[in-house]
Structure 1
């Protein structure tokens, strides 16, 4: 396990200081790895500053329209050429705790011993100030009329789940060989959830590592399509944008993962945008609140 090769996959856009903090914590880990960082057209000098401070980082240039899924797809595709033992998805606003990578590897090693070699390991994050859980594993709601994937709070035990949010996810090569890359049908949201669900369809499993692996603040829903302070027209406009539920991507997702009656679920987020949410703390799982990726405008 100590000799395992790891590719760390990150995508960034115009938040240089945040990206640097992420890399600083990453390079304090006690395991070896290679970083593949996609800079999707930043105008703040991110690529040059990262290269000056971390010359070993493999910097890949985006065209400015990759967003999270496109950026991670590019990083993943480059890393897959080297056939690493592990691939780590890491959001650039996730600050890893000491020994986080070792913890994720150890968790996978334990699952291999239990007969689950094709297992994705999800690292849970907490808010740096409040300590409250923010991102990690997810399970499909048990309410029959719901199409939400609900966050699972970490415990001190391993927990199996249905899928995950992509802030910190360790994917062993055996899973990557089965599932492949992120699906470019998605642009910014849904790609991480889709990957975990596709992995399970291919007889892989998704597990939440015990405890936390780092910190990451939760994105605010203010100004998003679930913000009832916006007009119906504004909410509908926002839900159709890249960070909401673009029609093509959402159609792919529900047809793939919502069963024979997917068309009934397809309309739900658009109806919700019209009706509005009375309580932003009860917003659905597929919004900016849980899509933790780059804050690309």
Structure 2
């Protein structure tokens, strides 16, 4: 059985190298083989060259500096399709995998299929190394009408989810064959959540596998620029692919949470024009 591992990187060589070393250190059953597909988006720190030298079996592709996360992952996925692996593993390059992570994730995916006769995407929860708290994984909605959700976790059983983070995400080829790859509508974020929604709409399941599968620090920040930042910079952040992703985010809201569109629009502009409101009252990302 072959797994195409999909990674995107930009300018954090040490983390990317550590992530790939974690793949090399996996304790795998004899029937599992990994194929690494890394798209480096023109990193000035020499990430692509370092990976090619240290891990000659890895397939390294070169972006133009404008791929961002979703574009890099799409490129890795497109290249992985040619070898027709049994699974695709989406992996963030800042994840440090536990050495049994992939074996457990595959076993959980197989278990779900055997028990339900249905293919599922399996998300592997990660935790923050310092706090020990869940950082990424499967999520369930507070309400189907609003983009508010919470991370789910169990030590000993899988949990069905509404959407999932692409930090550690195992996608069976049967899902990819029907759903395709990450949509080119998304530049950076959103793409993983959109993919899990599309997969569920196509009749597949989404589960958070039991236990933890790696370490990954939550790095999204607070979700707005404070009032001491110049207005021009706050507006740039509003439209930035690595900021609030204004146009793409509203497209996402319109598609999946249409009743929340007016409120989401208002929140984006409040964060930008009146950030003191969030500075004073908001503590968590939204």
> Is the 2:160–2:205 contact (alpha carbons within 8 Å) kept by the matching residues of 1?
yes
1:137 offset after TM fit, Å? Answer: 0.9
TM-score by length of 2: 0.90
Partner residue, 2:17: 20
**Offset of residue 247 of structure 1:** 3.4
Over residues 231-265 of structure 1, what are the superposed CA-to-partner deviations in whole Å (9 max), with x where a residue is unaligned? Answer: 66644431221113333312331232124x36425
Structure 2 equivalent of residue 120 of structure 1:
121
Secondary structure of the residue that 2:116 maps to in structure 1? coil
Separation of aligned partners in 2, 1:142 and 1:275? 27
Q: Does the 8 A contact of 1:40 with 1:71 survive in 2?
A: yes
Higher mean alpha-carbon deviation, 107-116 vs 205-214, is at 107-116
Aligned pairs, number = 278
Q: Which residue of 1 aligns with 2:34?
A: 33
* 1:55-74 mapped onto 2 (5 Å cutoff): 55-74=56-75
**Where do 5+ consecutive residues of structure 1 fail to align?**
285-297
**In 2, distance between residues paired with 1:62 and 1:92?**
16
**Residue of structure 2 equivalent to 1:282:** 284
Q: CA deviation at 1:151?
A: 2.5
What is the aligned partner in structure 1 of residue 8 from structure 2? 11
**Which residue is equivalent to 2:167?**
167
- Secondary structure of the equivalent of 1:107? helix
Deviation at 1:230, TM superposition (A): 4.0
**Equivalent residue runs for 1:111-190 within 5 Å:** 111-142=112-143, 144=145, 146-190=146-190
Instruction: Provide Cα deviations, 1:162-189, integer angstroms capped at 9, x if missing partner.
Output: 1111110000011111210101111111
Query: How far is the alpha carbon of 1:62 from its aligned partner?
Result: 0.4
Shift of 1:105: 0.3
1:238 maps onto 2:240 in alignment: no
The more displaced of 130-139 and 68-77 is: 130-139
Structure 1 stretches of 4+ moved >6 Å: none
Tell me by how many angstroms 1:280 deviates.
5.0
Question: Take 2:281 and 2:83, find their aligned partners in 1: how far apart are those partners?
Answer: 47
Question: Per the alignment, in what secondary structure is the counterpart of residue 198 of structure 2?
Answer: helix
Q: CA deviation at 1:116?
A: 4.5
**Are the structure 2 counterparts of residues 132 and 281 from structure 1 closer, same or farther at C-alpha, using a change threshold of 3 Å?**
farther
Q: Note closer, same or farther for the CA distance 1:82–1:283 as it changes in structure 2 (3 Å cut).
A: same
SS in 2 for 1:74: helix
